[in-house]
Structure 1
Amino acid sequence: MESPLKRTPLYPLYAEFPEARCIDFGGWELPVQFAGIQKEHEAVRTRAGLFDVSHMGEFLVTGRFAEAFLQRLTTNDVAKLQDGQAQYALLCYPDGGVVDDLLVYRITNDQYLLIVNAGNIAKDFEWLREHLIGDVTLEDRSDALALLALQGPEAAAILRGAAGGGFDGSRLAPFHFAADVLIGEAKALVSRTGYTGEDGFEICVAAEDAPQVWQALLAAGKPHGLVPAGLGARDTLRFEARLPLYGQELSRTISPLEAGLGFFVKLDKGDFIGRDALAAQKAGGVPRKLVGIEMIDRGIPRHAMAVYADGQRIGEVTTGTQSPTLKRNLGLALVDARFASLGTELQVDVRGKMLKAQVVPAPFYKRTPKE
């Protein structure tokens, strides 16, 4: 019987890994793990991991006024981009809540590629379509393209091997990309970006080329200890690096300023949707802040658990787990700004028990650049 869930072009290859376990992730049948979350997490931190992130959305924005359109829709300053550069940005509602977070790639001054979250593809496309201006074309390329993420300290060496020495990713600066990189017989757009806190690359290819590119990367990565990695490790890795997940650290009701992403909100670039609300929030003092917390009592903070201070509920956990790298019970929590200072003692309601925690610095993990 055919699965009601969507599948990426790489789905048939999961069968080569007997321990792979798939879950329903926003309507997609995706691997939560291939051989174990802890093993895959550790591989990315110490060697390299390869992720299938082909469920992500890709939109092409073209036309004479493409830059002006994206300036109006996104929080970051698109005008700062040169050809071959990418930036992280957010789409906001007029009240400052977040439609989605995304990557903007400038191919030329009238052609941009947007990478958006899988669960928001339809919503984002409609939001952008509603705000189109003259001489701008918006095209959803999500089904035609696949995306792989090669992450970890060995990523550059593996990519060099897979590209047959014809491309040296170590020369690509962070948030820059190269088009038409040959990996095997396939042409790929390769960017030095990622969602793990490690060095690495995201590789965009035609959907039909994804299986051969996946195989080429795994073969080149074998001597470097490369392993396929699933959504479970992707989540624990991004959490340690304090990278936000839409629906948890960002949402319709959580602004970029509350999530600590003010660096990507350029209030001085000119008008954009949400600017007035965000400027007012900044001027009046951001009411809630995303903080790192560590459990003092034994227990693990989990998403949506209530957080208390001085006997009152002051927020909730957005993400929490036992950190695979640090072996500490850590969380990110959105709390009343009055209780956001480092060292503040809090309580987390863990299944009906009020357990002690305290505010600690985040990100919890920062990579040491390779020599």
Structure 2
Amino acid sequence: MSPDCLAAALARAGSPVELLRNLSFPPSTFPVQPEFTNWRSEQRSWVESCALLDQSHHMTDLFISGPDALRLLSDVGVNSFANFGVGKAKQFVAVNPEGHLIGDAILFHLEDELFDLVGHPMVIDWVTFHLARGDYDATAERDDNSAVRRSGPPRLYRYELQGPTAAALVEQVTGAPLPDVKFFHMAEFTIAGRRVRALRHGMAGQPGFELFGPWEDGDAVLSALLEAGKAHGLVRVGAKAYSTANLESGWVPAPMAALFSDDPLMKEYREWLPAAKVGSIGGSMDSADIRDYCLTPYEVGYGKTVRFDHEFVGREALEQLAQAPSRTKVTLVWNADDVAEALGSLFLPGPGAKFMDLPKIRYATHHEDKVLVDGRRVGLSLDCGYLANERALVSLAVVEAELAEPGTEVTVLWGEHPVSAKPAVEDHRQVEIRATVAPVPFVDFARENYRAR
């Protein structure tokens, strides 16, 4: 066993919770310009006109090829792979043998026997582990994100176009009518004389495309988009605004990876996985049992993704979980007066409330705050931040099903006790912030109901 592996780090720390709460590992970063104008205006662009988001640098790609590439993915993913032909994509979800989430990513079927798995490293490491230990006639080439890549540019550029004018912009820059492309299907365009692949996608509740191709074509394509975009209100979106888009659409970007079960497969994985690949946990959740931090696909809205038409890691556990009561994913709208009081405590004798770094207030890789009703923990508040379009601070959360009705009042406990050793955590006091349950995705509900109130 390597002294640098997760198993060795766990032995030194004594428990998973102690290990992860005190790791200095930061939240996922977007290694692009923080703001091109200001993040409030940039958030508005995907509602009012068209947002251009540079996805080239913050995600990891795993290119899997070979006759057994699809079998590998089917053995690990909860998804169905029936009729998953070239030119399609899907949200790939993987769980551990107990049915708890390892992670998710977007899987592109690029060519016969060639796939690209794109996302956070948690699920990509898991797939790589299974390829290394299994009998698969397949190979994988990894392209880490720009924050950790040792040298050179990414293999692919990726530009996201989202908003009401995105379709018209694509028609202008390609010089052709927009093809009829189904959601999460791919098309091919020609932009600036370059072949461009496009995934029909939606983010923050708005229509759009994810454009990608060889890195060396990226500058020419970007220049063409910026020029054509002048007529369509195109706004370049920086890292700060981009990091909040999921709060409107309802995607939980970094759920806690369930790595610490006693299953023999997980013990083997911890001996294989470098400890440096493991993220930190932050927030008021303070259980000593790491299982209390883990989530299932059903809790975060992936129930429709689970298909029992094939054998995969965690199938038996998910079949049982599918029959059991599950917590429900919701949006929590934090009480404006309580948030203002917490922010205002920075200007009073301390210690004050834990600092809220707007617009995204997550300060660890996996953020989990307790959701309470009458002092009883009823769920977990996960990703949190400020939405200028709704003038509200919100979080994505999982709560007991009977509390998921919009309008239900709960409380979020903000801040840590005791204070962990993470560098991002200063001396502070915990505060209770009232919150109101709203649907997921939040954006349509907010425009029809929340704003009207």
TM-score of the aligned structures, taking structure 1 as reference length? 0.81
Q: Deviations over 1:44-92 (max 9, x none)?
A: 1111111111122222222223322221121211223232121112122
Give 2:40's aligned amino acid: Q
Q: Which has the larger radius of gyration?
A: 2
Q: Deviations over 1:227-271 (max 9, x none)?
A: 110222223222111122124xx54322211112111111x2121
1:273 pairs with 302, 307, 313, which one? 313
2:298 pairs with 252, 257, 265, which one? 257
Could you tell which deviates more after superposition, 353-362 or 212-221? 353-362
1:298 pairs with 337, 344, 363, which one? 337
Could you tell which deviates more after superposition, 25-34 or 269-278? 25-34
Contact map agreement 2:50 2:161 (CA 8 A) in 1: yes
Q: CA deviation at 1:297?
A: 5.9
User: Residue 250 of structure 2 aligns with which residue?
Assistant: 242
Equivalent positions of 1:331-370 (< 5 A) are 331-337=395-401, 339-350=403-414, 352-366=430-444
Contact map agreement 2:78 2:306 (CA 8 A) in 1: yes
**Which structure shows the higher strand fraction?**
1
User: Residue 174 of structure 1 aligns with which residue?
Assistant: 183
User: Residue 107 of structure 1 aligns with which residue?
Assistant: 110
Q: Deviations over 1:123-165 (max 9, x none)?
A: 25633533554322222255322211111121122122222x1
> How many aligned residue pairs are there?
337
Could you tell which deviates more after superposition, 227-236 or 341-350? 341-350
Contact map agreement 2:409 2:434 (CA 8 A) in 1: yes
Give 2:181's aligned amino acid: L
Establish whether residue 285 from structure 1 lines up as the match of residue 325 from structure 2.
yes
Residue 51 of structure 1 aligns to a residue whose secondary structure is: strand
Contact map agreement 1:63 1:111 (CA 8 A) in 2: yes
2:373 pairs with 309, 330, 339, which one? 309
Contact map agreement 1:57 1:121 (CA 8 A) in 2: no
Residue 42 of structure 1 aligns to a residue whose secondary structure is: helix
Contact map agreement 1:71 1:79 (CA 8 A) in 2: no
Residue 243 of structure 2 aligns to a residue whose secondary structure is: helix
Residue 258 of structure 1 aligns to a residue whose secondary structure is: coil
User: Residue 9 of structure 1 aligns with which residue?
Assistant: none
Question: Residues of 1 paired with 2:116 and 2:337: CA distance?
Answer: 45
Mind listing any 5+ residue stretches in structure 1 that lack a counterpart? 1-23
CA-atom RMSD, angstroms? 2.7
Give 2:439's aligned amino acid: P
User: Residue 12 of structure 1 aligns with which residue?
Assistant: none
Q: CA deviation at 1:40?
A: 0.8
Residue 71 of structure 1 aligns to a residue whose secondary structure is: helix
User: Residue 50 of structure 1 aligns with which residue?
Assistant: 52
User: Residue 83 of structure 1 aligns with which residue?
Assistant: 86
Establish whether residue 224 from structure 1 lines up as the match of residue 263 from structure 2.
no
Question: Residues of 2 paired with 1:128 and 1:223: CA distance?
Answer: 48
Q: CA, structure 1 residues 173+131, in 2 after alignment: closer, same or farther (shift >3 Å)?
A: farther
Percent of aligned pairs with the same residue? 26
User: Residue 165 of structure 2 aligns with which residue?
Assistant: 154
Contact map agreement 1:67 1:79 (CA 8 A) in 2: no
TM-score of the aligned structures, taking structure 2 as reference length? 0.67
Question: Residues of 1 paired with 2:394 and 2:30: CA distance?
Answer: 28
Residue 140 of structure 2 aligns to a residue whose secondary structure is: strand
Mind listing any 5+ residue stretches in structure 2 that lack a counterpart? 1-25, 145-153, 259-293, 340-355, 363-367, 416-429, 448-453
Residue 314 of structure 1 aligns to a residue whose secondary structure is: strand
